[in-house]
Chains A and B, each alone.
Chain A
Amino acid sequence: MTDTDQERDRNKETAFYKFTQQTLPACKPVLTPAWVITIFLFTGCIFIPVGLVTLRASRSVVEIVDRYDAECVPEPFRIDKVSYVQDDSIPKNCSRFLKVHKYMKAPIYIYYQLDNYYQNHRRYVKSRSDQQLLHGRKYHGTSSCQPVEFNNDHAIVPCGLVAWSLFNDTFKFIRERAELKVNRKNIAWKSDRDHKFGKKVYPYNFQNGTLIGGGKLNPRIPLSDQEDLIVWMRISALPSFRKLYGRIEEDLDVDDVVVVHLMNNYNTYSFSGKKKLVLSTSSWLGGKNDFLGLAYVFVGSSSLILALVFMLLHLRYRR
């Protein structure tokens, strides 16, 4: 017992000694040509297949994108789209015909896409109160919500620019006279519904002010169930973004024509933003985006070339 203790002590001492003398056992990798070539070959061999798989996944996604913001303004109003969209007396309905050119398997995700819309603008991002969304009128520190904070000295619930500018175009999908069933539940993050938006917070005085920014909310539904709002309030990272509207839970066949009845309520005309409707299937990768696949293939092939170059260099200039 004591012997082993002593031994351990001695070991500890020597380890400490080695530490102080900077002679701890260490691995000293040196880049030899063999290593370098192996590394590049290895990278190439990994990246090219991964890239191809990724590319394939991206290509397998079927996507229908329809820009409707311009077309959905009736001919007479096209000179002044802003006043058209702001005029409540004019009906805003509009129909779009989408032709399916490839079989789309359910679930088909419905997105609306906004371009040139800076949801990540500093003023916009700050203009919200997460505490109020959770606690409702009980929470008073809503100063961050300016300039949409009070209405008749009552704090607006939900306050802030983000909520105020809620997207409010609506879409109805009809195929062969039958309305496609659109599932609009579970489009927001569950974590947001459960922990960020109050179950007992009701938007009782929302969008009552002089300036209407966007969608209204049903005051009888608590915020935690207002999924459109929850989706909208998850600020997008980039000025061109999609937000989930719902899911079509039926497959679409080739050459099906989907008629979209939409209400073109949301004003992007004042800042020449674009509105698009997107129907897209999904892969393990997400949406349709070839970039990463191409990048992988490119990096993989570059690595192989580099491996080759180093091999030649090594043969040519052997040290």
Chain B
Amino acid sequence: MPLTLDISLSQTRHCNNRKENPPIAIIPTSSFPWDPGFVFGMDSKTPVENLYSIEPALSSSSRRSNFSIQSKASGGNSIREVTFTDLGSKPVRYGSHGADSETNALSQKEINDEDARLVHINDPVKTNERFEFAGNSIRTAKYSILTFVPRNLFEQFHRVAYIYFLVIAVLNQLPQLAVFGRGASILPLAIVLLVTAVKDAYEDYRRHRSDRIENNRLASVLVNYQFQQKKWKNIQVGEIIKLHANETIPCDIVLLSTSDPTGVAYVQTINLDGESNLKTRYAKQETLTKIPEEGKITGLIKCEKPNRNIYGFQANMEIDGKRLSLGPSNIILRGCELKNTAWAVGVAVYAGRETKVMLNSSGAPSKRSRLETHMNLEIIILSLFLIALCTVVSVCAAVWLRRHRDELDFLPFYRRKDFSDGEEDDYNYYGWGMEIFFTFLMSVIVFQIMIPISLYISMELVRVGQAYFMIRDTQMYDESSNSRFQCRALNINEDLGQIKYVFSDKTGTLTENKMEFQCASIWGVDYNGGKASSVDGYYVQVDGKVLRPKMKVKTDPELLQFARSGKETKEGSHVYDFFLALAACNTIVPLIIDTSDPTVKLIDYQGESPDEQALVYAAAAYGFMLIERTSGHIVIDIQGERQRFNVLGLHEFDSDRKRMSVILGFPDKSVKLFVKGADTSMFSVIERSLNVNIIRTTEAHLHSYSSSGLRTLVVGMRELSTSEFEVWHSAFETASTALMGRASLLRKVASNIENNLCVLGASGIEDKLQKGVPEAIESLRTAGIKVWVLTGDKQETAISIGYSSKLLTSKMTQFIINSNSKESCRKSLEDAIIMSKKLMTISDTANNAGGTSGAGLTPVALIIDGTSLVYILDSELEETLFQLACNCSVVLCCRVAPLQKAGIVALVKNRTSDMTLAIGDGANDVSMIQMADVGVGISGQEGRQAVMASDFAMGQFRFLVSLLLVHGHWNYQRMGYMILYNFYRNAVFVLLLFWYVLFTCFTLTTAITEWSSVLYSVIYTSVPTIVVGILDKDLSRRTLLKDPQLYGAGHRQECYNKRLFWITMIDTFWQSAVVFFIPLLAYWGSTIDGSSIGDLWTIAVVILVNLHLAMDVIRWNWITHAAIWGSIIATCICVIIIDALPSLVGYWAIFKIARTGLFWLCLLAIIVVALVPRFVVKVLYQLYTPCDVQIAREAEKFQSQRATGALEVEMNPILDPPRR
């Protein structure tokens, strides 16, 4: 436990500001770091009546009930470094981060020798002598020339299908069992293996090539006190490496020193996680002064074994007898680029395949689709069927052999005895028992395609085709980010058609995660812009050059006026302080970018928190432009006048305090403390006695901001007296040099100074809803999909976003659960269940009384917060919550941790058989995405963690509608049909062979040539299946989007279910009997020879299965035509070719038989008789019990009022889900 705790701590610190995203981690719910002084929305003992308010009886609109006191911190602020300037003295940094000593204490316990790797700095020989650490050469290629054949074959035979193929082929090689010729039995497997092998070889060649390029890149490495160029592949762990600006980092390196005097280095991690902003990394202060060229650096780094967590690193370094702890901010990872830093020196700790980026470069997760799982059951049924057929054949053969055992010796067509050597031998006869056994095996070989192995291959091809169309779909192309839809998992396309639950993240998924400063409340005055706001870009002119912020912000004219007026007026000075706080109290790094116009330069504010970026841009727009930030000072351009402030101290954000502060030394020698933080944490440190009115109005403003969906932050300040500063300074210095408990000491120092603040104001930042989100949610809900929103935001924000995204409506009854003990949770849940049941019965009776109107149902929304979930998840309350959630049409979970998100998904996934989909954009959604049946990543502002873990990735939330309602529906329908059709297609052929066996003494002679048997599923019938599986559309996109209820077809499993399977099998039985018996009876007692009738059967069955498909094709375009008719023609050509080879038995048979009228009459009779029952059933079904899809099809075709009317009446109601 201490390990995970430690990681969570360090990570919270590390990433605290990018929403709520501790990376992939591991925050145990039990140690969930919520503020213990958390103000809960409701007292646990509050009577239930307070919880919900239900309008009496049947009123369609229940009053919204909102109890929770808006309170919780809004994610907040981060402070990355604690910097301190002793008024003009040399800058010194005290420790790179606060958690140092804790980590230290823990890590000494954690990293014991077995789990650690020891790296001797600048001594690769010693480092590597005991352990063989991986070199830095990487190898993504799988094969070498020598190992290609065996390894590739080995990998290919991991598929069960191929093994089945192989076993059958091997069986066929035994002389006793040789049903087919050698070539015919091995050829299909050989072709498949060869094609795959060629594809693999090509891919591997490309990997070899890129590996070679990568391995031969150069880096400067310290050799004999001099930096020399060395190829990447030769870099060893323990070597010291020097990097220059814009160079790519060759391996995972612990920083020793950088060009910055305080040891800061900026890296861009775009190759690692896709985030383009700069991240700061630090060298340890103790190693900063070492110059590798001059003196030998000796030291020992003890770090954890290589692992894939790119946000975690734990190590300690012994240098000069001191022991320092290292964390994730001291390491720069392979694949990143060094930016804005002239040089950096570090020691390699992980190299080559052990680097974090390589450990993370694993393929997409492999999942198995629900349809396929169901299908496997049917495959088992088919196997049993196969065994049954084989048993019938062998039993009959046994009986026949027994009855004729006296005749066998001389039977002209059996001739057991062989007299050729003069003595009597049994020829090819191994006794009765063995003969039966061989017959059984032979029948397995003959009937092998009963198990539709080709189906697996077709399914893969079809999925590739479907994926292609999803990727190419312009409706799912995001122009703003220029990103296409991505299909990362290839085997769950059809699951998209059966999704019942959608779990969505909020920030970045429903919203854009582009923070925009909206309004401010300064000194009790609300400046919310109103209508008069404008978006003039503010700029300053310096030396004739124009400097402007990269992003324009809407400004309030009144506020702008005050900001320009300077400190003279009272309002002006408050506004001055407020914006100064916004510009200074952050960790944003300004970057100056050249534009195409040489006189114009842009300022780009780089930082990890979008909130902070928005605030700094806002400050800039009002004339407080942050120009420069170093560890010791900041330069702010205030209304065109550059001012330099010394940064005397910085208390970074932590999740306990939920605020950050900065101590600024003003040019006039005064010292001020600026604090920015979440409202809950701020109001506890604000001096209440001062300005009571202002505090009250600010609180009111905050409430209205968060109710309208804005993210709020409160800003406060205090002037420090010299004595106060001195006290703080000495305390800070002691704390930051402390060896033990440094973090808590620093936190204590910060808390001591952050008090008695005077409130400056509050800011409201809007996280805009993405385009089309309300419509998308509406569509999904109409489609019968339950949308759950899981967010880290606070309740008010979540609810207001819920309203604006149409997730919540005013008609809904809301149950809000936020409790802080298990008991109160239980009580709230149980009460809520009772209430919801009451509501259901009320609406039920309403329905009964009121007849058909379905609107009597009161939709119920459940709003629950993370703290309650801590008590509920993993306890017996889970079941209660699930029951409640099932009754609710909307569930909104606020302030949930990443792991809780996964827990909620698991809650649903484990209790129902319904499909779940999770959609999110940030690292905090990874666990949820991986947990759900289908994971969708949004490639947005938050990097690529979610995308990397997802099955599908796209640019915007609204594409989900296209993805599910259109592509999901299509994919499901196509795949379901294709599987059934494949079962039918193979079974009909097997049964045809089986019927003939009954007329050949059960000896498995096939009238159909072995080549036709082999080619049947390869050439004769495969292409139309695949084409239809990729291209057929039951309904147009427009119809599907217009009537989302049509999605219910997937929920009801209309395209693939047990009933359909059995109907198909009965149909198969009939059709095969027709194909077999019509020619049999027509040619009974005639001169017909085996090959001729075999050709008739071949052609008949191929035409039959293709016409069967043609009958079910819904949309005929030229490709479908080409595939179906082409297949029939190809079959005829193949049969002709086979019969034109004199070496085969059937020479010229087709030419003979095709000249007779009987042949064509048989063919016509077969096709019609075989298809009539199916046709009649299909027609009756379509005309008299049509499904939604059918009605919509007709409506689409005729566009008539009648059909549309029918659609509305007959559409199955889905809004009310039956309880399971």
Residues of chain A at the chain B interface (Cβ within 8 Å): 20-31, 33, 36, 39, 43, 47, 50, 54, 111, 113, 117-125, 127, 130-131, 134, 146-151, 161, 164-165, 189, 191-192, 195-196, 209-211, 213-214, 234-244, 267, 270-271, 284-287, 289, 291-292, 295-296, 299, 302-303, 306, 310, 313-314, 317, 319
Contact = CB atoms under 8 A, between A and B. Distances in A.
A165 B413 contact: yes
Contact of B412 (A20, A165, A195, A286): A165
Nearest to B970: A22
A43 B1168 contact: yes
Q: Which of A22, A50, A134, A196 has the most CB of B within 10 A?
A: A22
Nearest to A47: B1168
Query: Which 7 pairs across A and B sit closest by C-beta, in order of nearness?
Result: A191-B1148, A147-B418, A122-B1003, A124-B413, A165-B412, A147-B427, A20-B472
B642 interface: no
A244 B1165 CA distance: 27
A130 B1085 CA distance: 26
A314 B731 CA distance: 94
Interface stretch (B269-277, B363-371, B376-384, B1153-1161): B1153-1161
A95 B246 CA distance: 109
Given A26-B1116, A291-B1082, A146 B428 contact: yes
Given A118-B1001, A292-B1078, 13 more contacts: A27-B1115, A31-B1179, A36-B1183, A39-B1175, A122-B1004, A130-B1143, A134-B1142, A164-B412, A189-B1148, A235-B1090, A285-B1157, A292-B1158, A296-B1165
12 contacts: A20-B474, A23-B1037, A30-B1198, A121-B1005, A124-B413, A130-B1144, A148-B415, A149-B420, A161-B413, A191-B1152, A285-B1156, A292-B1081
Nearest to A39: B1175
B1086 A121 contact: no
B917 interface: no
Contacts of B1145: 125, 130, 235
B296 interface: no
Interface string B1041-1085: 000000000000000000000000000000000000010111111
Interface string B1178-1189: 110011100000
B90 interface: no
B1110 to A, nearest CB: 10
Contacts of A148: 415, 420
Contacts of B407: 270-271
A155 to B, nearest CB: 10
Interface in B372-417: 404, 407, 410-415, 417
Q: Which of A25, A117, A234, A295 has the most CB of B within 10 A?
A: A234
A134 B1143 CA distance: 9
Contacts of A314: 1183
A22 B1033 contact: yes
Contacts of A214: 412
Contact of A123 (B414, B1007, B1157): B414
Q: Which of B1158, B1172, B1184 has the most CB of A within 10 A?
A: B1158
Contacts of A211: 410, 419
A284 B1155 CA distance: 10
A13 B1147 CA distance: 48
Contact of B1005 (A122, A165, A271, A286): A122
Interface string B1186-1220: 00000001101110001000100000000000000
B977 to A, nearest CB: 16
Nearest to A156: B420
Interface residues of B, number: 85
A237 B428 contact: no
B34 interface: no
B471 to A, nearest CB: 9
Nearest to A121: B413
A28 B1193 contact: yes
B1090 A125 contact: yes
Q: Which of B469, B1081, B1117 has the most CB of A within 10 A?
A: B1117
Nearest to B1148: A191
B1000 interface: yes
B1194 A30 contact: yes
B1157 A284 contact: yes
A55 B1176 CA distance: 27
Contacts of B474: 20-21
Contacts of A21: 472-474
B1007 A147 contact: no
Interface string B492-507: 0000000000000000
Contacts of B1081: 289, 291-292, 295
Contact of A120 (B427, B1090, B1120, B1172): B1090
B1194 A292 contact: no
Interface in B827-868: none
A292 B1119 contact: no
A196 B1206 contact: no
B761 interface: no
A110 to B, nearest CB: 12
Contacts of A299: 1165, 1168-1169, 1172
A254 to B, nearest CB: 25
